[in-house]
Every structure is written in C-alpha cells, then in structure tokens.
Amino acid sequence: MTRRLVYSIAVLAAALAVGADILWCRPAAAQAPDVATESWSGERAMADIAAQLKFTPRSLDTPGHQATIDYIEAQLAPTPFKAITKQRFTYRGDDGVEHALTNLVARLDPGNSRRVIVATHYDSIVHAYRDAKNPDAPMPGANNSASGVAVLLETARVLAGLPPPPFGIDMIFFDGEEGPKSLGAGDPHWFALGSPYFATHLGDFYSSRKPEAGVVFDMVCYRDLRLSPELYSLANARNETVKFWNIGAAVAPSVFLNAPTTYPVGDDQTALVRAGIPSFLVIDFEYDPWFNTTEDTIDKCSAARLADVGRTLVRYLYAR
C-alpha cells in the first residue's frame, strides 16, 4: 500500500468533515453485539504468520507465493470457507514481463444474495527497499502482508463455531496489492493489481446484488498497534467505518483511536469503493522504522493485538 497524495482537495475536505463526526459516536459499548469471541486465538494467528514467513520470499512469481496460496487453502479446508474460487489472470508490466496472479475467493453461504467482503492481500513486496543496509534483501513481511492473512484465517476458524450469520461472507485474499513495477518497492506510480481485477469482474461472483460492505485488513499485528479511521474509507464508507471503530473502541480502547489518519492510504479498499461497494481499510501505517525493511519480523507482532482486531471483526459482522 502507499500514501496516495493525488486525491482532490474536495475529497480530502469531505473526508475530514465526516472524520470529525466519528467523535460523536461514542460511547460505543452498547453497539458491540453480545457474541462470543473468546475463541479467537491470537496465538493461532501468530502461528499463521510464522508459517507464512517460512515461505519467504512471497512476492509474485516466487515458489513462496504459491506456497502461501497452498497454505491458505489448507487452513480453510476444515472451515465453512472451504469452497474457494481461484480467480486467475495475468498482468504484463512495462518491462514486458508477464506475471501470473491469483485472487482467492472463499465463500460462506454462496447462495445468499446478501453478502459482505472481508479481504486482505497475501503477496509481499519483492525486496525490503526501505532497509538502509540491505535494500535488495527478501522482504519478510510479518506485518505487511502476513498479518492480514492471519486475521482472515483465524476468523474463518472462529466462525465455524458460531451460528451462521443471516448473510454470506466472501473472504478475499487479493494478489498483487504491492503493484507491478518492482512489486511496489518504492514505485511512485504504484497501483494494486488484484483488487481492481476483482472489482471489474464482479459478475463472476454476484449476479445482481453487490456486496453491502467490504473491510480490508493490512498491517494489523504490531505490538503497539494503533488504528485510526482512514480518510478515504471515511469519505466513501462512513457508516461502516464508524460502526467498526465504535465496536473496536469497546473491545480495545487503547488500539482504536478517535482521530482519523491525516492522509488517505491507497490499498485494496479503493478498487472496491470504485466498484460501488462501501469499503474501508483497517491499517496501522505508522510502522517505522520497520516498514518494508528486513526488520518486519514476527517479534514486532503481538497475539493480543491480533485478537483485538479479530474479535472486533467478528462483532462487526454479527452487528449487521
């Protein structure tokens, strides 16, 4: 993902205006539904991160990329999300190199026309370009990108033990979020590949009714996790963003902050929004000095913080 500074002044002004509204929505405890979330295990999510790190590098066109796909499929097999569609496509970069990409779409209750998207990306950056000593080293990516995958996998396990919600859920593991050129390694012209492809092929999954909401996770394991409502999300999916943050504030008040980000963050939520699906991003983008360096390793992650995020997600889903 990247900071996107190309949004218009009007969009930013609107985002700031609605961002201020979030302060009016507290206290939040009454909005958190009474759903059992204790079974959401931060330790199991940490194990998901550790497993992915063994496949590093996990960028496009690597064996670790395919190993990550295999791991996701294996972990979902015992859950209600075991029916997985692999949305395959290719992208040819400016350098003439063609990349094979695969979005994984795991569907709960696929016959239900009411749907919600829960998404992340599983590809990692090709090299740790912000690392002062080893900018060409493989990117471990414990936080970016293994943590989002871990949140989705553990949530799938937990949902297996809860009553089915009255709507279907599509867990989407997007490919190519890090982009085509140097796979996002500092490319100033970054753009995601997997989510725009999905967003322009909605007919592959939805015959008429679009999903009513989408939530995207990225960089959510940091031991000092602080989550602020993201500007683009507030501008385009205000109600869903506020609902999620209010529930989060009840679950983990030190993690979910009132004040919005001071800049929009480009990630997979933007393509979903452009496709007409109100979607928001959950990200802790303040991850220096480790962001996209060789130090993005599992010791920076916390089982407790992962559980804060996962339990908020489960409550959010059952609050519909």
- What are the Cα distances from residue 193, in Å, to 54, 174, 180, 196? 25, 9, 7, 6
From 17-25, 52-60, 137-145, 165-173, give the range in contact with Zn ion by CB under 5 A: 137-145
> Per rule CB under 5 A, is residue 284 in the interface with Zn ion?
no
Unique residue bearing structure tokens 């279907």: 168
Percent helix, strand, coil in the chain, to 5, is 40, 15, 45
Residue (245 or 287) nearer to Zn ion, CB: 287
Nearest distance, CB of residue 206 and Zn ion, angstroms: 25
Total residues in contact with Zn ion, by rule CB under 5 A? 4
Cβ atoms of residues 234 and 18 within 8 Å: yes
Strand 168-174 and strand 98-108: the pairing is antiparallel
From 34-42, 141-149, 155-163, 229-237, give the range in contact with Zn ion by CB under 5 A: 141-149
- Select from 144, 233, 302, 312 the one that contacts Zn ion (CB under 5 A): 144
Nearest distance, CB of residue 262 and Zn ion, angstroms: 19
Nearest distance, CB of residue 111 and Zn ion, angstroms: 32
Nearest distance, CB of residue 263 and Zn ion, angstroms: 16
Nearest distance, CB of residue 190 and Zn ion, angstroms: 11
Cα 218 to Cα 69: distance, rounded to the nearest angstrom:
17
Cβ atoms of residues 128 and 138 within 8 Å: yes
Nearest distance, CB of residue 16 and Zn ion, angstroms: 24
Residue (2 or 246) nearer to Zn ion, CB: 2
Cα 217 to Cα 1: distance, rounded to the nearest angstrom:
11
Q: Is the dihedral of CA 235, 239, 244, 245 positive or negative?
A: positive
Draw the binding track, 150-169, toward Zn ion (x: CB under 5 A; -: no contact).
--------------------
- Restricting to residues 86-125, name those near Zn ion by CB under 5 A: none
> Per rule CB under 5 A, is residue 145 in the interface with Zn ion?
yes
Residue (145 or 302) nearer to Zn ion, CB: 145
Cβ atoms of residues 319 and 247 within 8 Å: yes
Residue (179 or 310) nearer to Zn ion, CB: 179
Nearest distance, CB of residue 145 and Zn ion, angstroms: 5
> Per rule CB under 5 A, is residue 37 in the interface with Zn ion?
no
Q: How far apart are the first and last CA of the chain?
A: 28
Cα 288 to Cα 299: distance, rounded to the nearest angstrom:
14
Residue (32 or 153) nearer to Zn ion, CB: 153
Residue (154 or 268) nearer to Zn ion, CB: 268
- What are the Cα distances from residue 167, in Å, to 67, 102, 113, 317, 319? 31, 25, 7, 9, 12
- Restricting to residues 194-223, name those near Zn ion by CB under 5 A: 218
Residue (305 or 315) nearer to Zn ion, CB: 305
Residue 74 CB contacts under 8 Å (≥ 6 apart), including other chains = none
Residue (145 or 195) nearer to Zn ion, CB: 145
Task: Read off the DSSP letter of residue 29.
Answer: G
From 35-43, 139-147, 179-187, 269-277, give the range in contact with Zn ion by CB under 5 A: 139-147
Interface residues with Zn ion (CB under 5 A)?
1, 144-145, 218
